[in-house]
Amino acid sequence: MKDWGKALSALVWLSAHMVWADDTTTSPATAAPASAAPAPATTTTTAPATDSSSAAASTSSSDSSPATAPASGDKKAEAALKQQASDASSEKNLAQVFDASQPTYSLLRKGGATLYYTFDYTYYYNAAIDIALTPNSSSISRFRIEEDAQDTVTNSLSLDYGVWDNLTFNTLLPMVAKYDSTNNLTTMALGDASFSARWQPVPEERGAMSTTLFGVFSTASGVSPYNINLNTDLSTGKGYYSLTGGASFSKVLDPVVVFGSFSDTLGLNVTGLNQNRAGQLLTAFQPGATFSGSAGLGYSLNYDISITASYQMGYTLATTYDFAGGTTVRTPDMVAASINFSVGFRTTPTQIINIGFAYGLTQDTPNIDLTVTVPMDISGMMKTH
């Protein structure tokens, strides 16, 4: 019994000792919050640093490329906010400002060239009374009515070339065919070739008037009316060299364009002639200067069709004819005027065909004048802009 008592006492002691050990192990865990109280402060102190670095990393990542794939709605928003090719940018704005600061002209760009074919038909009719009196003017020795009816067809090639952006040279080469229905005469030969230049001294500005100065040198390459037999031949030129200088003006008053011009033509004297005119021998003549002016307006009906109307007038001073024997004849000053209408048809984005009609208002102008101008594509022959 004593042994059983000792064994029981030892078992109780061991159980008590184990319970005490368990309590000791558990109590630090229970007391841990008190001893670890500073821990939250430490965590609070370091957490912002970790958060800020994460935020910085996130910000840096979002600036460069998304770290994670955005949702479908975000993708659409991101795509919408991305710069498109047509959107404005600092580079495009700079280029536009640079281009806007460059001078602009209405003439051909430097190195550009255009070729035009022009068909022109004119009909001229005039009836004049030819009367002669006896030396004492007591009776009429000759009385007749002279009629002059001519059909003229001119085929011309005109080449424009841009020397500079504000300077364009032009060459005109006409081929003339004539038919005189009164005398049943026909002819076909080269007309008077000409060379001209157009210069814009001041660049164009929005709302301002555009000014172009021009000069023309016209040759006498056609058949001269002063070197033919007037009874059997027809002329295809004016018979003398001439110089023309002037200026043209235009202003856009959308959708109307108003324009005008003035010029002065000086003809060079012609000598060494030997032409029989009404029984007298013509030896020389001095053409009178011609002052011309025009004004009109153009109206664009739409992108493809435009119309133009203008009035043109010329005043020619007296021409002096010198005949053999010292006889000199001076013609009176003459006035020529006409009304012009034209329609432009756009056949392609870069091609416009013009059809013009002019009606003469004075005796020395054609009764009918029909003109068709067609641009020709020469991009394969030379550089164009």
In this predicted model, what pLDDT tens digit does every residue of 125-143 receive, in sequence order? 877 776 777 777 677 777 6
pLDDT confidence band for 281 (50 / 70 / 90): very high
Question: Does residue 96 lie in a domain region?
Answer: no
**Please, are residues 259 and 249 in contact by the beta-carbon 8 Å criterion?**
yes
- Predicted local confidence at residue 148, as pLDDT: 78
Q: Residue 373: pLDDT above 70? A: yes
In this predicted model, what pLDDT tens digit does every residue of 34-57 receive, in sequence order? 333 333 333 333 333 444 434 333
Question: Does residue 301 lie in a domain region?
Answer: yes
Question: Does residue 317 lie in a domain region?
Answer: yes
Tell me the helices (H) and strands (E) count for the chain, helix number first: 4, 17
- Predicted local confidence at residue 244, as pLDDT: 97
In this predicted model, what pLDDT tens digit does every residue of 79-125 receive, in sequence order? 444 445 444 455 555 455 444 455 677 888 899 899 999 999 999 88
In this predicted model, what pLDDT tens digit does every residue of 158-217 receive, in sequence order? 999 999 999 999 999 999 999 998 888 999 999 999 999 999 998 888 878 899 999 999
* Spatial separation of the C-alpha atoms in residues 208 and 231, rounded to whole Å: 54
In this predicted model, what pLDDT tens digit does every residue of 337-356 receive, in sequence order? 999 999 999 988 878 899 99
Whether the bond into 103 is cis, omega within 30 of 0: no
Amino acid (1-letter code) at residue 3 = D
**Please, are residues 10 and 16 in contact by the beta-carbon 8 Å criterion?**
no
Residue 202, domain extent: 113-376
Tell me how crowded residue 141 is: count the other CB atoms within 10 A of its CB: 9
Q: Annotate 334-353 with DSSP letters as a single string.
A: EEEEEEEEEEEEEEETTEEE
Question: Does residue 50 lie in a domain region?
Answer: no
Question: Does residue 11 lie in a domain region?
Answer: no
Looking at the 3D structure of the chain, how many domains does it have? 1
Which CATH number is 174's domain given? 2.40.160.40
Question: Does residue 93 lie in a domain region?
Answer: no
pTM of this structure = 0.69
Rounded to an integer, the average pLDDT of 330-341 is: 94
Amino acid (1-letter code) at residue 282 = L
Amino acid (1-letter code) at residue 81 = L
